[in-house]
Amino acid sequence: MKVVVIGAGLGGLALAQRLVGADVDVRVYERDSAIEARFQGYRIGLGGPGLTALAGALQPRLHPLLDAVSGLVESPGRAVDSQLTVLGEQDAVNDEGRMFDRNVLRHLLIAGLGERLRFDMKLDRYEELADGAVRAHFADGTTVDADVLVGADGMGSTVRRQLLPQIEIHDLPVYGAIGRTELAGFEHVIPGWSTVVSAKDVQLMLGRMKFQRSPVQAAAELAPDVTLPDTPSYIRWVLLLPGTPKTLDLDPVLDLIEDWHPDLRALIARADVNNSGVSPIKEGDPIEPWPTRAVTLLGDAGHPAPPGGLGANLAMVDAELLADKLIAVRDGRVEKIRALAGYEQAMCENAKTGRESAAQAFKNFAKLRAEA
């Protein structure tokens, strides 16, 4: 059985790792030209089943490295006003969870995939063949046939748009400026895993990505065959604003914090400009099981949700569920369409949890805004 995965994001790579580990023939096709082709380095919080599923996808020899490059969920989470006056503190609810840099995680998840992962391969469309197989058509004119095609191609998924054209993506009534700034010099602003700055028209969410060990040094010692990016500990920040962006330019947004505490302004001003920008925040229609075929969806492609929810956690769980089903098909224990239908049922159930979590996060911010 041959599996083709479209998209080398966290979900697609985790699936590929599991299938390689079980000796299933799998190929991953990614549209970007390289793993570092564009900004990929925001902080991801994983906990509970998502964290367990991530560890299960990685080769056990890489577990010490995974732990070394994670960040701890340390108390206190803090709420402050725009002058850095502390409004409240909260202990971490899940201090068993871990923080990861998405770029570092992707580097870990490509380890050992070798020629099975190909870049510069943008899927244009797929074609269902008479014998139940699927043909992937790429932008460069090449095609690849598979027994199962997995769309792990993110929120804007090309696979989902063909498979489920009725699912639409729409802007939420908030938008964000997102960036990151080196942690050094700003630890006092964010003593724990997160600080939220609440003001009347804008909320600033700061997330601390403090690597327990430098990724480069940890890889050199614990798994010298793995190359990790040279990323210093940083603060991922999101300025959340009501409405939809009139421009994707950062300057008008920064004018809104002109009278804020100088340390907060400095934090934003010192952001890595290449990794900062304004973007709408989007969400997809809810997803329900559909008539199963040899094409399926995983991660944000299947349940497009805004940032700040459980997207990466769910992608890890999807990868585990789907890998188990595909291995059972390969072993002849279950028929392909039946196996995929079972996966899609579970994936759609989990997607509901993701939507609820994202909705709750946005309700919390609306409440903070109202209180400010």
Ligand X SMILES: Cc1cc2nc3c(=O)[nH]c(=O)nc-3n(C[C@H](O)[C@H](O)[C@H](O)COP(=O)(O)OP(=O)(O)OC[C@H]3O[C@@H](n4cnc5c(N)ncnc54)[C@H](O)[C@@H]3O)c2cc1C
Least distance to ligand X from the beta carbon of 29, Å?
6
Q: Which of 8, 206, 223, 347 binds ligand X (CB under 6 A)?
A: 8
Q: Residue 158, interface with ligand X (CB under 6 A)?
A: yes
Contact between residue 6 and residue 299 where contact means Cβ atoms under 8 Å apart: no
Least distance CB 89 / ligand X (angstroms): 20
* 225 Cβ contact list (under 8 Å, min separation 6): 111
Single out the residue of 6, 205, 271, 287 in contact with ligand X (rule: CB under 6 A). 6
- C-beta closer to ligand X: residue 202 or 222: 202
Cβ atoms of 194 and 91 within 8 Å: the answer is no
Closest CA to 33 of 102, 159, 119: 119
CB of 32 or CB of 182, closer to ligand X: 32
Q: Under the criterion CB under 6 A, does residue 71 sit at the interface with ligand X?
A: no
44 binds ligand X (CB under 6 A): yes
Q: What is the DSSP letter of 51?
A: H
- If one asks whether residue 97 binds ligand X (CB under 6 A), the answer comes out as no
**Cα(145)–Cα(140) distance, rounded to whole angstroms?**
15
Q: Are strands 86-90 and 77-80 parallel, antiparallel or unpaired?
A: antiparallel
**DSSP string computed for 328-345:** HHHTTSS-HHHHHHHHHH
Closest contact distance (angstroms) between CB of 9 and ligand X is 2
The residue (of 29 and 260) whose beta carbon lies closer to ligand X is 29
Peptide bond into 262 cis (omega under 30): no
Q: From 16-24, 147-155, 251-259, 285-293, give the range in contact with ligand X by CB under 6 A.
A: 147-155
The CA-based angle 287-281-50, given to 5 degrees, is: 55
**Using the rule CB under 6 A, which residue among 29, 175, 260, 362 binds ligand X?**
29
Binding residues among 112-141 for ligand X as defined by CB under 6 A: 122-123
Closer residue to ligand X, CB minimum distance, 282 or 293 = 282
* Element spanning 178, H or E: strand 169-182
Q: Does 31 bind ligand X (CB under 6 A)?
A: yes
Give the residues lining the site for ligand X (CB under 6 A). 6-12, 29-32, 42, 44-45, 122-123, 152-154, 158, 178, 299-301, 307-308, 310-313, 315
